[in-house]
Amino acid sequence: MKRRTFLLAGLGTGGALFLGWALLPPRQRLVGGTRPDTGGTAVALNGWLTIAPDDTITVVVSKAEMGQGTHTALAMLLAEELECDWARVRVEYSPIDKIYGNVSALVEGLPFAPEADGTLVRGIRWMMAKTARELGVMMTGGSSSVRDCWMPMREAGASARASLIAAAAATWGVAASTCRAEQGTVISADGRRLRFGELAALAVSHRPSEITLKAAAAFTVVGTPMPRLDSAAKSNGTATYGIDVSLPNMLYAAVVMSPFGATTAPSVTAAQMTQSRAMPGVRAVVSLPGSHYGDPPALAVVAESWWQAHKAARALATATAAGASAVSTVTVLQDIRSTLRNDDGLPLRFYGGAKKVLAAATRMVDATYEAPYLAHATMEPMNATVRVSNDGAELWTGTQVPGYARAAVAHVLGLDEDNVTVHQHILGGGFGRRLDVDYIAQAAAIAKTVPNVPVQLIWSREDDMQHDFYRPATVSRLRAALDADGRVTAFVAHSAGQAPFKAYSKRVGFLLTQSGPDRTSSEGTWDQPYAFPALHTSHSETDSAIPVGSWRSVGHSHQAFFVESFIDELAAAAKQDPAAYRAALLQSHPRALRVLQLAAAKSGWGAPLEPTADGRPRARGMALHAAFGSIVAEVAEVSVARDGRIRVHRVVAAIDCGLAVNPNIIAQQIESGIIDGLSVALNGELVIEDGAPRQSNFYEYRLLRIDECPVIETHIVPSLDVPSGVGEPGLPPIAPAVANALFTLTGTRLRALPLRMPSEAAS
C-alpha cells in the first residue's frame, strides 16, 4: 500500500488525472451529441432508434451497407431487445457523432494472438477501447460491424423498451414490473394495450436508470433467417447508390488523372484545351493539383451530362506528366524478393527459439510463395456529388468512413467540418476501397470551381481500375523443422511487402497507425490456431510508388495462401492425411478443431470422388484459417481440363463466427468470399508497366463467371459467443484449398497466385 501511495504521489496532477481517467469505464454509447433525424413526427428515444406515431421503428445505423447485410443484422439486434414488430422496422444512416465510432476494430487490431490473455493484455485492450471511444472514428471494415454494435444496439433496444413500459405504466397508474412489451405494444397485467407509436412521446421523460438484456435462450429474432431489409429495393431498382443521386440543376464531371508519382496534371496543348471546351455540353475544364488524400494531379471536365464530360475528358490526349514513375511490377517484385533474402524483418511473434531449432534440424521443409497486386474492382466505380454554397457544403456519396469523408471536403474547401453535411448512400461494393476518400476530395475540388451547383464526379471503369489503392504484392518464405515422425518442431515464416494500413493512415491522417509495425501486412501467420513447439514470424516492410491500401481480408488474403499451402506441404512430407495432420496441430484449440472436423465430415473427406462428365479425375483440397475473430475451413473439389483450365466443382465451408445473428446472411457472405477468392485464385493479377496498370476493365481483369461458380455449402458451428466477423473470413481459405487439391490431383505444387497449371501437369 505504501509503495502504491508513493507511486500515485509521484505521478503529479497530470499523471493522477490520467490514471483516474484510465480506471473509469469507457464513455457511454447510447446518447450522442447529434440527434438522429426524426422525420418530423418521430421521436428519438436514444441515438440508435426513433419511433413514429404510426409505429414505424427506424433503426439508426452507423455502418456502411455494401452488400454484406449489416443493416439487417444490426436492426435485428435492436429489434430483439425492443420487442417490436419486425414488419415495422426500417433503417437509416446515423449522423456523424462519436458514439458511433468503431471501438471493436481498434481493439481487435492490437497485435495480440487471438488466445492472448492476462492482466497486461486485458489492460491494454481496456485502454484501447477507451481511446477508441474518445476518438470516435466511424468506420466500416475489419468485419467488425456486428461485433462493434453487439452491445450498443441491444442496449439501445432494451433502454427504449424500458422507457415505453414505464410510460405505459404511468398512464395506467400501475407498476412497470406488471407490464411487458410484445410485438410493438405494451401490455398490462389485465390485458390493456398501448402501441409504441402512442407511447413514444411520453417515453422520452421515462429514461431508465438501469436496463436488463435478454438471455440468448430468450431470443426470438436473433438467430433466425430474417429476410434482408434491402432485398426488395435492390431487386426492383429503387435502392439509391451514390452513383444514382440526382439533384436539380446537377452537373457532371469526368477526370483524366496523372500516373503514379506525377507532380503535375496531364499536359495538353492549347488547341486540345480549346477543342475540349467547345464540345457539346461542356461548362468548364479544371486543372486539379491533387491532395494528400491520394488523388493525383488531374484535369476535370464539367458538363451537362456525364457522357459529355467523359467524351470531352478523353479528347484531352495525355502526355507523360512531370515526375511520373516508370515503376513496374517486375522490378517491384525483384525488390521484394531481394528484401526477403537480405533483411530479417521485424519479429511479430516468436517463442521456443525457433530459428535455433531450425538451424540444428536434420530434416526441413523450405518453400517460397508469392501473391500479386490486386485491384478492388467494385461494381460501382468511385463517385461523389458535392454542392458548395456560400456558407458550407453538402456531400452525397457511399463511404466506409463518413467522418473522414466530411473532413476531406472541409479541408479542400477551407471550411469547418460542422459546415459540411454528409448524405450517406449504400455502396455498390467497398472491400476496403471506400475507406479512402481521394475521390471525395477530388469531387470537392471540382465543385469549388462551380459554386451553388451540385456536381457529380463519376470515375469510369478504367479510372477506377488504374487509380486504385491496390492489395500489395507479397512474397513469403516458410520453413519448418520436422522430427522423424513428421511432427513440426519449429515453424518460421518471413514475408516482405508494402504496409497497406500504414499507407492508408498517412493519407487520412490517422495518427495511431501512421508509424510502427503494420500488423495487416502479415496477419494470417502469427495469429493462427496451430500449436507449434517453436514459432518465429516476421515481416519486412518495403516501399514502392505503387499506391496500396486495405483489400478484402487484407493480409489474410495472401498469408492464408502461404501458410495453408505450406501446412499441406508439411503433411505431404510427413506422408500423412492433410486433415489428420491439421487436427494433430489443433488439439489445444478445440474451437478450430470443431470447424475442421465439420468441414471434413460434410465434404465427405476421404471418400472417393467420381470423375467429371468428360472423364477427368477430381480431387479434394482443404484449408483452415482464423481471421477477424472467426474460424473457417473449406474443402474444394477440383479438376483440370486437358488445356490446363482449373475447374472448381464444389466447395464445402464450415464457420464458427460466434452467435449466428442471421444464418442466411452468414451463408451469403461465405459464398461471396469464396466467389471473390476464386476470382483471385484463378485470375487475379494487376500488372503494372511503365508506371501504369496494364488492365483497365473486366475483360482484362477477369472475375469469376457465373458458369464457373461451384456449388457452395455453408455449415455454421453452433455458438453462444459474441458474434465475430463474417464479411471477410470466407475469402482467405479458398485459394489454398484449391492449390492443395491441385497438388493431390497432379503432384504439382503451385506456390504463386494466380494458380496456373503447367502444360505437362495438366495433360
β-bridge mates for residue 76, sequence order: none
Q: For residues 711 and 667, what is the distance between their CA atoms, to the nearest angstrom?
A: 13
Write the burial class of residue 664 (CB in 10 Å: 0-12 exposed, 13-18 middle, 19+ buried): middle
List strands edge to edge, sheet with 180-182: 180-182, 185-187, 193-195
Position 8 scores a pLDDT of 36
β-bridge mates for residue 285, sequence order: 301
Position 762 scores a pLDDT of 61
pTM score, whole prediction: 0.95
β-bridge mates for residue 618, sequence order: 639
Q: For residues 262 and 639, what is the distance between their CA atoms, to the nearest angstrom?
A: 46
Closest C-alpha to 472, from 493, 495, 505, 499 = 499
| H-run or E-run covering 493 | strand 488-497
b (16+ CB within 10 A) / e for 599-622: bbebbebeeebeeeeeeeebbbbb
Write down how long the chain is: 763
Strand extents, DSSP E, 641-740: 646-656, 688-689, 692-693, 711-716
Position 575 scores a pLDDT of 97
- The whole-number mean pLDDT for each consecutive block of 10 residues of the chain, a chain of 763 residues, reads 37 54 78 87 96 97 97 98 97 97 94 86 92 95 97 98 98 97 98 98 94 95 97 96 98 94 85 90 95 96 97 79 80 98 95 97 97 98 97 97 98 98 98 98 98 98 97 98 97 98 96 88 94 97 96 98 98 98 98 98 97 95 98 98 96 98 98 98 96 94 97 98 97 98 98 91 63
Contact 361, 480 (CB under 8 A): no
Which cell is 218 given?
430468450
